[in-house]
Structure 1
Amino acid sequence: MSDAEWAFVRPLLPVLLWGRKRLDGRRVLDGIVWKFRIGTAWRDVPERYGPWATLHTRFRRWALNGTFDRTLRAVQARADEAGDIDWLVSVASTVVRAHRHAARARNGGSEIPDSDALEAA
């Protein structure tokens, strides 16, 4: 992460005012980004980003408390102000037909009995 990117993101991260000294937020965020960019397990994140359990815990906290949502909105707002986002959206739809057996239908249109009805018999 560049210094300019960190300067933008840093105020968006939560600040802990009490407790033990925490691992640097920039290092943790770099480790989280590395993990998802590579697509590996948490335990396989290199030690230079800190303990994998710390990265996982911080990721879960930030995901649950809305830090990532706030950061995304801030980045989008900044890019929109700069004219870097084209908000034109195209949606394509596709029709997929399922075989009648996928809908549990029989030849006469009667339903297949559910497991509770079979157990009662």
Structure 2
Amino acid sequence: MGPHPALLADRTPKREGRWRDHRQVIDAIAFKYRTGTPWMDLPEHFGSWKGALNRLRKWAADGTWEKVFTALLAQADAEGDLDWVVAVDSTIVRAHQHAARARQKGLRPASRTTMPSYGPVAD
């Protein structure tokens, strides 16, 4: 399943030259995020890492990614290939016991003096 060609920008750039195939750029972007590798360490068979990064940024800015993902989701849902699964996490986060008694503005109350346990014993 692939995005409809009309969703992706024309491959003829405004300046001289020609863009690489969209599939190669999408593969490069997917590889980068799947492996976590830095852009500069992208394998050479994907082409220039700068080209892939620039196209990723351009498509993010002009809304191309949203259009592609919406179209793919609609296509998968229409074909019955999409199963909706909802997971709810009921984790409870508790604050530390001292967090409930946060200091307020103003003077700090004087602490009580304590006697060490080895101190004098009362008669």
TM-score (norm 2): 0.71
Match of 2:92 in 1: 95
Alignment deviations for residues 26-51 of structure 1 (CA, whole Å, 9 cap, x no partner): 21111111111111100010111111
Match of 1:27 in 2: 24
Match of 1:47 in 2: 44
**Partners in 1 of 2:44 and 2:66 — Cα distance?**
27
**Partners in 2 of 1:38 and 1:11 — Cα distance?**
29
SS at match of 2:32: helix
Question: Aligned residues: percent identity?
Answer: 43
Structure 1 residue runs of 4+, over 4 Å off?
100-104
SS at match of 2:84: coil
**Partners in 1 of 2:60 and 2:86 — Cα distance?**
26
Selected match of 1:15 from 4, 10, 14? 10
Higher gyration radius (CA)? 2
Cα pair 2:11 2:21 within 8 Å, conserved: no
Match of 2:102 in 1: 105
**Partners in 2 of 1:112 and 1:80 — Cα distance?**
60
The residue type paired with residue 11 of structure 1 is: A
Moved more, 71-80 or 93-102: 93-102
Cα pair 2:76 2:82 within 8 Å, conserved: yes
Gaps of 5+ in 2: 108-123
Check 1:48–1:95 CA distance in 2 against 1; reply closer, same or farther (3 A cut).
Answer: same
Aligned residues: 105
TM-score (norm 1): 0.72
